[in-house]
Amino acid sequence: MLKGFEATAVPMGAARDARAEIEAFNAEYAAVLDAGQVDAWPRFFTSDALYRITGRDNADADLPVGLVYCEGKAMIEDRALAIARTMMFAPRYLLHQVTNVRVLALADDAIAATANYALYETLVDARTTLQQVGRYYDRFVRRDGALLLRERHCVYDSLIIDTALIYPV
Amino acid sequence: MLKGFEATAVPMGAARDARAEIEAFNAEYAAVLDAGQVDAWPRFFTSDALYRITGRDNADADLPVGLVYCEGKAMIEDRALAIARTMMFAPRYLLHQVTNVRVLALADDAIAATANYALYETLVDARTTLQQVGRYYDRFVRRDGALLLRERHCVYDSLIIDTALIYPV
Amino acid sequence: MLKGFEATAVPMGAARDARAEIEAFNAEYAAVLDAGQVDAWPRFFTSDALYRITGRDNADADLPVGLVYCEGKAMIEDRALAIARTMMFAPRYLLHQVTNVRVLALADDAIAATANYALYETLVDARTTLQQVGRYYDRFVRRDGALLLRERHCVYDSLIIDTALIYPV
């Protein structure tokens, strides 16, 4: 478990609404990545957002950095741009399954939540493989009625990951 | 992405109700297939329904046909009957995980939606394998209060699929 | 399908609320197991609860026992204690994906439901593997406003399972 993501008491009705909203958000987020529209990916984040991909061993040891670390939307956009150019050379299909949404804290327009994900990858002429499983640790805020990510920590279980991993999760 | 399945603006409350209803529908649909009750499978479709299984490369190229193509409930029932007879000779367990429901359009009693699926297969005396991952592209209509499928396109990522695939997804 | 878990007519609104509540319950349940907090696992059960892990072939044949069989919370706590001591010697990461919740029956404060699960396992220095897929067959009761399990049958498809399996599912 990531520090600062402890479960707190959340009223049942409010938690249910927040879960439904986060599920819809995660489905949109995954659809953009799965369609290869990495240029549209930064729009899910606030301008001061933190985006990180790290291993569960790192997260458990409370190590801040990881495989990918973006501080601020400008860095997230930079990364998206770099990937959009690189991906041309390595065509593959991606598919996310995002499940097990938990609402950990809910205050005003801020929500702390987690979700479990599995990411499948299919290279041309190859069988589908499980690229990684892991958990999102998220902080959402509401802007103009819609949720945005202020923090997304993608904490993967899989200790051996294809070193070519550059695409967001 | 399949043509004609572009996302449109859907009011949040209506989208949430539709998502919940589709999730329940997909769980029932999968339970029937996973229980091997293929004869009960046609009841999820309208009389003029289209059912199709095709690869993502085909779908991206906007090719209409695919691995399986049924136009109308009579063809769907034919297929179910043929499978019910064949399956006797190849016992296996199936299990679906259907996630990431997205409501793309909502008008009167018609809903366009997608969902991601993983289909696991277990043959006797064998480990469980991932048979395919993919996405449903659906058009639902409401009949007597309940949803029915007018179109279900099962678009699988997995480019190499067991050629023995005959069972619906 | 397990005997006694036939689907019955459930009003749509009530079914939707129950589904949402069970999804939240299952996410909490899985989070406790995935965090290795097996000592906190018994709290999801009533004092007279039944917990069982068995294969689909056993369940289909209506055989009562299986790989794991706990009758009453005392037995469940015993098991948790035994595992808490053993797990020290075999570090691994677990991750559940629980999907496809179906509400089969709803009466007063009792709910019969199923859900599909996939359980991933990652051993140190190893790739993530799918340990098992299966289905929960559950009977929930409400105590002080919250759901508890009176029965959970974990029925796995995978016919070949690591014999070292001792951890709850």
Which helix (H) or strand (E) element contains residue B74?
Answer: helix B73-86
pLDDT for B3 equals 86
pLDDT for B118 equals 97
pLDDT, averaged per 10 consecutive residues of chain A (169 residues), comes to 89 94 98 94 97 91 84 95 72 93 93 97 85 96 95 88 67
Kindly state whether residue B6 falls inside one of the protein's structural domains.
no
- Specify the CATH number for the domain of residue B23: 3.10.450.50
Kindly state whether residue B5 falls inside one of the protein's structural domains.
no
pLDDT for B123 equals 84
pLDDT for A127 equals 82
Non-local CB neighbours of B77 within 8 Å, separated by 6+ positions: B42
Kindly state whether residue B71 falls inside one of the protein's structural domains.
yes
Closest-CA residue in chain C for A113?
Answer: C27
Non-local CB neighbours of C101 within 8 Å, separated by 6+ positions: B23, B27, C19, C22, C23, C26, C113, C114, C115
Kindly state whether residue C32 falls inside one of the protein's structural domains.
yes
Tokens 């589908």 -> residue? A128
> In whole numbers, what is the pLDDT of chain B averaged over residues?
90
Q: Is C61 exposed, middle or buried (0-12, 13-18, 19+ CB in 10 A)?
A: exposed
Tokens 């958000």 -> residue? A25
**Helices H / strands E in chain A, number of each:** 3, 6
Kindly state whether residue C150 falls inside one of the protein's structural domains.
yes
Dig out the tokens for A81 from the structure: 């741009």
Query: How near does any CA of chain B get to the CA of C99, in Å?
Result: 6
Query: How near does any CA of chain B get to the CA of A101, in Å?
Result: 11
What is the per-residue pLDDT across B56-96, written as a single tens digit (0 to 9) for each?
988 888 887 788 899 999 999 999 998 887 765 567 899 99
Taking 70 as the pLDDT cut, the residues of chain C under it are 87-90, 159-166
**Do residues B123 and C144 make contact, with C-beta atoms less than 8 angstroms apart?**
no
Kindly state whether residue B162 falls inside one of the protein's structural domains.
no
Total count of domains within chain A:
1
pLDDT for B33 equals 95
- Strands, sheet with B92-107, edge to edge from the N-terminal-most edge strand: B68-71, B45-55, B146-156, B128-143, B110-123, B92-107
Asked if this assembly's ipTM is beyond 0.95, the reply is: no
What is the per-residue pLDDT across C22-55, written as a single tens digit (0 to 9) for each?
999 999 999 999 999 999 999 999 999 999 999 9
Closest-CA residue in chain C for A161?
Answer: C127
Among the partner-chain residues A24, A118, A130, the one whose CB lies closest to the CB of B15 is: A24
B95–C159 CB contact, under 8 Å: no
The predicted model gives B84-110 an average pLDDT of: 86
C-alpha closest to that of A56 among A2, A120, A117: A2
C-alpha closest to that of C23 among C133, C141, C147: C147
The predicted model gives B146-161 an average pLDDT of: 89
Q: Pairing relation of β-strands B92-107 and A146-156?
A: unpaired
Q: How many CB atoms lie within 10 A of CB A81?
A: 13
What is the rounded CA–CA span in Å between residue C37 and residue A2? 15
Kindly state whether residue B143 falls inside one of the protein's structural domains.
yes
Question: Angle, to 10 degrees, between the axis of helix C12-34 and the axis of helix A12-34?
Answer: 80
What is the rounded CA–CA span in Å between residue B41 and residue A73? 47
The predicted model gives B135-149 an average pLDDT of: 96
Does position B24 have pLDDT exceeding 70, yes or no?
yes
Residue type, B168: P
pLDDT for B168 equals 83
| Residue C41 DSSP class | G
Chain A: residues touching B (Cβ < 8 Å): 20-21, 23-24, 26-28, 30-31, 34-35, 93, 95-99, 118, 120, 122, 124-128, 130, 145
Half-sphere exposure of C108 (CA within 13 A, CB side): 2
Kindly state whether residue A124 falls inside one of the protein's structural domains.
yes
Q: Would you say the C-alpha torsion B27, B115, C98, A12 has a positive or negative sign?
A: negative
Q: For the residues of A10-49, what is the DSSP string, one character each?
A: --HHHHHHHHHHHHHHHHHHHHHHHTT-GGGGGGGEEEEE
pLDDT for C140 equals 98
Dig out the tokens for B106 from the structure: 């909502």
pLDDT for C120 equals 94
Residues spanned by the domain of B59: 12-156
